[in-house]
Amino acid sequence: MADSKQLLDRFLKYVRVNTRSNPNSDTIPSDPKEVDFLNELSYELKDIGMKNVRTNEKSGYVFADLPSNIDQKVPKIGFISHVDTADFNSEHVHPQIVKDYDGKSVINLDKDGKYKLDPNVFPTLKKYAGQTLVTTDGSTLLGADDKAGVAEIMTAMKYLIDHPEIKHGDIVIGFGPDEEIGTGADQFDVTDFGADFAYTVDGGPLGDLEYETFNAAATTIKFNGTDVHPGDAYGVMVNASQLAIDFHNQLPKDQRPENTKDRQGFYYLLAIDGVTDHAKLDYIIRDHDKDKFNERKEFIQKLVDQFNEKYGDGRVELEMHDEYYNMAEVIKKDMTPINIAKDAMNKVDIKPNIYPVRGGTDGSKISFLGIPTPNLFAGPENMHGRFEYVSLQTMEKAVDLIVKISEDVAKE
């Protein structure tokens, strides 16, 4: 159904633009690069025929409407993707196209063969035999998370506009900033968006349909030391870096990301920095179960209290805030969006793969703001790094799915 060349050209154009978000910024969006790219998408939305294209001042999102072409009233649906890329080199992205991949060969990403996609290391490659893959050149991420979703939504809307014989109700789309730094949907304007329910197109491989996410918190722990000459350190020095190491070693080793799977939560040491005088640990805390999530946060607080009791009040400072919650709490109350997506997948020969995502999406926050928003696949594999790739055929299927969902809602 999808115009393969149009979809690929659009995607390649998008990923070549650096839109990495900035976690140290206090602006919305966090980086001017995102603003520029969102402005370009606004022009493109107008060019393809979308209506009421606007930038929401509150959130930085670009919204656009595709008015209904039927008489009866049906639910207004939304499709959402984010434009920012993750915390990895995203400057000078040079996508490479591998046509008719055989499912077994090693793909050299750079000229020297230092970085490669090897099916023995990345077994998911084996399922893409006969397909066209888009990869990196080994020096950057690809940005298919989530520019694949942006390209798929844009292409699907263009297809619906060009084919008015496909009946649909009101559709609204949203392209937003800062998902990768966890703040993108903080100011999402549900009233302006106006959908009854929506889908983020921000998932991974073909068939992924997700409505269960982690509960998430961000934690910064600061250690204040006493720095003196090491020759005179006895009984006086308090080494902040050593305190940080000792603190981290109190966390259970079997509850790190690399040692957990399925619905098991974790503590993830995201960054460490320190000298004798001061040190800092940045963690993210994740768990699908709300009670276990709260227990994890309480454990961190307990450790901080113990260290301050042992080393003196104020030696350890804790900053912790919740980022998002498991959207299953909202969506399980009415599974209509899930049932519609499952039925649509079956109609376009996609086997639904429903599982708890070990992460979160903007849909997690948007669901709690009032618009149930599960997540659809967009196609990327090995996201957030130099080994990221995506299948063009999977992206085409994502376009087909968006169109079919739009068509099926009109028949409800």
Query: CA separation (Å) from 128 to 101, 236, 316?
Result: 7, 61, 50
Number of Cβ atoms within 10 Å of the Cβ of 68: 16
Beta strands 197-203 and 77-82 are parallel
Phi, psi at residue 226, to the nearest 5°? Answer: -120, 115
Q: Which long-range contacts (CB under 8 A, 24 or more apart) does 94-97 make?
A: 94/16, 94/136, 94/137, 94/139, 94/140, 95/12, 95/15, 95/16, 95/134, 95/135, 95/136, 95/137, 95/142, 96/134, 96/135, 96/136, 96/137, 97/8, 97/132, 97/133, 97/134
Helix, strand, or coil here: 36? helix
User: Among the residues of 212-252, which ranges form H helices?
Assistant: 240-248
Q: Token pair for residue 369?
A: 């703001």
Active site residues: 84, 179
CA angle 179, 181, 183 (to 5 degrees): 65
User: Among the residues of 258-355, which ranges form H helices?
Assistant: 290-311, 328-331, 336-347
Q: Token pair for residue 276?
A: 């004798």
C-alpha Rg value of the chain to the nearest Å = 23
